[in-house]
């Protein structure tokens, strides 16, 4: 099949490369000409494991190409994917649809034959109807249907998620689209058994409901972790026990410094706003957002408390800046709020991240970006683990202990073994752990 993908951001580029990889002929379009030049030379503008190689291979085979202009590829396409950004709109938190609308109108003008237009971008319920009307107005003669096919890829795991999806949700209000979608996904859908056809509005809402539910699990376990600390329970045991119930499931029950990234923060805000617009309040989602906001500040306060209540003039080492491992994305990363809060009370920050340093330099100010975790820890009063990159699991803590002015570790992902660190002489603080049990030599700070 011939596919045109409008937008070469994360979703557009990953989808385009993956569809080419399973045999379709894909052209990815972006107005940013320098991005198109880079991509045509195999230069991927962000870090996603395996994507560079996949883009290079499919460029080489001729199945994948890039263009700054959509006219030709849309005219020739069987399927057009809209994969442009839907950032948070200022003021009300709803998703900003300017780019989706602009793309839809431009596509309509260039359509020649029957075309299935798929909205991959995360858009509020009802957007498919809007897009369809706009396209009909822009080109009344065009023969097309608009389908909602939301993306469930996780950053850092996107290529695997594309090849082995749990489900492929397709919202269609016009049966003409069904055989086209079946053909599009035939190489990966195992005789269609992962394809779930729904109405268009249901598909749009499913995406938000899925992300909000996962975000809610994270906020829930973060509050349970706090309660564990107050009551002497251990969140690791509680998560395990909870997750063994198949109705709950073991995933997204790891406490942390709050969820971040390009989806959960934006999509929870947008869903809450949709609830307000339709007079159907999303109270659990509102609480999820509030808990997450508060979480970042509580984490900064936890670091300050661990340092004896004052970090003024002290050096704090931060390991991990991205919102999760295996990405270079810092969008809405908790590290930003935590670092800025610590700087606000006079701490100096040294940080290390395996992939996030360059984007972090554009966001964070007055941070010493280090070449490795040991340089960050050198002369620090406290080492804070924010993002659980694998390389942090095998740190030489003897070396770190010798180089710190005060051997304290605040582990915001519970990846270190408290008893090992404590036996090395660290003051260790994790999340949701019973301090008394693990730290008999230290007074409880709260
Ligand atoms: C998410 C959805 O998982 C994906 O299906 C959707 O398409 C896009 O949004 P992503 O943003 O890549 O994917 O990250 P995800 O792995 O879901 O993590 C989101 C945030 O939650 C991260 O900040 C992560 O650290 C945090 N998290 C996740 C926790 O704090 N605890 C957990 O147990 C799980």
Which residue range forms the structural domain that includes residue 43?
A: 2-198
- 90: buried, middle or exposed (CB in 10 Å: 19+, 13-18, 0-12)? exposed
- 283 lies in the same domain as 307: yes
In this structure, the answer to whether residues 28 and 147 fall within a common structural domain is yes
- For 350-388, give the DSSP string: EEE-TTTHHHHHHH--SEEE-SSHHHHHTT-SEEEE-S-
Q: What is the pLDDT of residue 52?
A: 97
Cα–Cα dist 413/154, whole Å: 19
pLDDT at residue 241, as a whole number: 98
Nearest CA to ligand 1 atom 25: 324
370 a catalytic residue: no
154 CA: nearest ligand 1 atom: 12
Q: Are residues 193 and 206 in the same domain?
A: no
CA of 180 to the centre of ligand 1 (A): 31
Residues 242, 115: one domain? no
User: Is residue 444 scored above 70 in pLDDT?
Assistant: no
| Active-site residue, selected from the candidate residues 263, 307, 370, 382 | 263
User: Whose alpha carbon is nearest atom 30 of ligand 1?
Assistant: 256
Is residue 376 within 8 Å of residue 392, measured between CB atoms? Answer: no
Query: Pairing mode, if any, of strands 79-82 and 168-171?
Result: unpaired
- Express each pLDDT in 304-350 by its tens digit: 999 999 999 999 999 999 999 999 999 999 999 999 999 999 999 99
Q: Which residues contact 27 (CB under 8 A, 6 or more apart)?
A: 3, 4, 5, 64, 65, 66, 67, 73, 77
In order of 5, 60, 128, 140, 432, the CA distances from 104 in angstroms are: 12, 30, 10, 13, 48
**What pLDDT shows up at residue 445?**
46
Output the pTM of the full model: 0.95
Nearest to 383 by CA among 418, 408, 415, 348: 408
Cα–ligand 1 centroid distance for 324 (angstroms): 8
Q: Which tens digit of pLDDT belongs to each residue from 268-287? A: 999 999 999 999 999 999 99
Q: How many helices (H) and strands (E) does the chain have?
A: 18, 14
Atom of ligand 1 nearest to the CA of 150: 7
Task: State yes or no: ipTM above 0.90.
Answer: yes
For 157, the token pair is 């795991």
Mean pLDDT of the chain: 96
Q: Are residues 230 and 154 in the same domain?
A: no
Gap between the Cα atoms of 140 and 211, Å rounded: 36
Distance in Å, CA 71 to ligand 1 centroid: 36
Name the residue among 149, 192, 167 with its Cα closest to residue 11. 149
Helix (H, G, I), strand (E, B) or coil at 67: strand
Whether 166 and 219 map to the same domain: the answer is no
Q: Are 223 and 154 part of one and the same domain? A: no
Name which residue sits closest to atom 31 of ligand 1, judged by CA.
254
The whole-number pLDDT of residue 225 equals 98
Domain containing residue 381: CATH number? 3.40.50.720
Among protein residues, the one whose CA lies closest to atom 26 of ligand 1: 259
Tell me, using a 6 A CB cutoff, whether residue 152 lines ligand 1.
yes
**Residue 190 — very low, low, confident or very high, per pLDDT cuts 50/70/90?**
confident
- Whether residue 251 contacts residue 71, with contact meaning beta carbons closer than 8 Å, is answered with no
One domain for residues 79 and 225: no
**Looking at the structure, do residues 219 and 334 belong to the same domain, yes or no?**
yes
Q: Is the Cα torsion angle 307, 309, 313, 317 positive or negative in sign?
A: positive
For the Cβ of 206 lying below 6 angstroms from any atom of ligand 1, the answer is no
Q: Identify the CA nearest to 404 among candidates 416, 390, 421, 418.
A: 421
- Is the Cβ atom of 252 under 6 angstroms away from ligand 1? yes
Domain end, chosen from 198, 214, 246, is at: 198
Residue 11 near residue 207 (C-beta atoms within 8 A): no
φ/ψ region of 320 (left if φ > 0, alpha if ψ in -120 to 50, else beta) reads left
Distance 381 CA to ligand 1 centre (A): 30
Lowest mean pLDDT among 122-131, 147-156, 435-444: 435-444
Query: Which of the 8 DSSP states describes residue 441?
Result: T
Q: Which of 198, 232, 255 is the last residue of a domain?
A: 198
Residue 211 to residue 363: CA distance in whole angstroms: 25
What per-residue confidence (pLDDT) applies to 439? 47
pLDDT at 189: 82
Q: Using CA atoms, how far apart are residues 372 and 351, in angstroms rounded to an integer?
A: 9
Q: Tell me the mean pLDDT in the region 207-233.
A: 98
In terms of domains, do 172 and 285 share one? no
Task: Decide whether any atom of ligand 1 lies within 6 Å of the 260 Cβ.
Answer: yes
Higher pLDDT, 245 or 445: 245
Number of domains in the chain: 2
Mean pLDDT score, 397-425: 97
Question: Can you tell me the distance from the alpha carbon of 123 to that of 151, in angstroms, rounded to the nearest whole number?
Answer: 11
pLDDT per residue over 120-142, tens digit each?
999 999 999 999 999 999 999 99
Ligand 1: which residue has its CA nearest to atom 2?
154
Using alpha carbons, list the distances in angstroms from residue 296 to 21, 239, 256, 283, 302: 40, 21, 9, 21, 10
CB distance 162 to ligand 1 below 6 Å: no
**77 alpha carbon to ligand 1 midpoint, in Å?**
33
* pLDDT for position 193: 75
Are both 242 and 390 inside the same structural domain?
A: yes
Q: Residue ranges of the alpha helices (H) in 232-318?
A: 235-243, 264-277, 283-306
pLDDT one-digit tens code per residue, 32-91? 999 999 999 999 999 999 999 999 999 999 999 999 999 999 999 999 999 999 999 999
The domain boundary, picked from 198, 230, 250, lies at 198
Shared-domain flag, residues 100 and 157: yes
């Amino acid at each position: 099949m011939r596919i045109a993908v409008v937008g070469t951001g994360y979703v557009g580029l990953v989808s385009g490369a993956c569809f080419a990889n399973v045999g379709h002929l894909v052209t990815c379009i972006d107005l940013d000409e320098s991005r198109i030049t880079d991509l045509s030379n195999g230069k991927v503008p962000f870090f996603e494991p395996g994507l560079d190689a996949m883009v290079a291979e499919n460029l080489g085979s001729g199945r994948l190409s890039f263009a700054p202009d959509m006219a030709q590829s849309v005219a020739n396409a069987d399927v057009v994917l809209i994969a442009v950004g839907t950032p948070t709109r200022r003021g009300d938190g709803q998703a900003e649809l300017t780019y989706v609308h602009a793309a839809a109108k431009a596509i309509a003008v260039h359509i020649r034959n029957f075309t299935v237009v798929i909205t991959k971008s995360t858009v509020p319920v009802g957007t498919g109807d809007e897009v369809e009307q706009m396209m009909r107005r822009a080109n009344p003669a065009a023969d097309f249907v608009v389908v909602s096919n939301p993306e469930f890829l996780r950053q850092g795991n996107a290529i695997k998620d594309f090849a082995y999806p749990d489900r492929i949700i397709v919202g269609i209000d016009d049966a003409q689209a069904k055989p086209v979608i079946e053909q599009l996904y035939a190489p990966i859908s195992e005789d269609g058994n992962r394809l779930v056809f729904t109405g268009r509005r249901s598909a749009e809402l499913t995406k938000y409901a899925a992300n909000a539910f996962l975000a809610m699990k994270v906020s829930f376990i973060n509050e349970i972790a706090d309660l564990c600390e107050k009551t002497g329970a251990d969140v690791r045991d509680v998560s395990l026990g909870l997750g063994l119930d198949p109705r709950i499931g073991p995933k997204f029950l790891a406490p942390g410094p709050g969820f971040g990234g390009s989806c959960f923060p934006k999509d929870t805000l947008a869903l809450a706003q949709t609830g307000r617009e339709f007079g159907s309040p999303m109270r659990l989602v509102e609480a999820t957002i509030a808990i997450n906001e508060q979480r970042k500040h509580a984490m900064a306060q936890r670091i300050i408390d661990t340092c004896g209540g004052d970090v003024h003039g002290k050096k704090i080492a931060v390991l991990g800046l991205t919102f999760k491992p295996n990405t270079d994305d810092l969008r809405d990363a908790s590290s930003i709020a935590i670092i800025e809060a610590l700087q606000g009370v006079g701490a100096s920050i040294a940080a290390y991240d395996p992939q996030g340093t360059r984007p972090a330099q554009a966001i964070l100010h007055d941070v010493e970006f280090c070449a490795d975790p040991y340089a960050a820890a050198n002369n620090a009063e406290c080492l804070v683990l924010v993002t659980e990159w694998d390389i942090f699991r095998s740190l030489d803590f003897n070396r770190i202990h010798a180089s710190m002015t005060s051997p304290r570790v605040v582990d915001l992902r519970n990846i270190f073994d408290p008893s090992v660190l404590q036996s090395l002489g660290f003051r260790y603080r994790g999340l949701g752990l019973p301090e008394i049990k693990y730290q008999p030599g230290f007074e409880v700070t709260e």
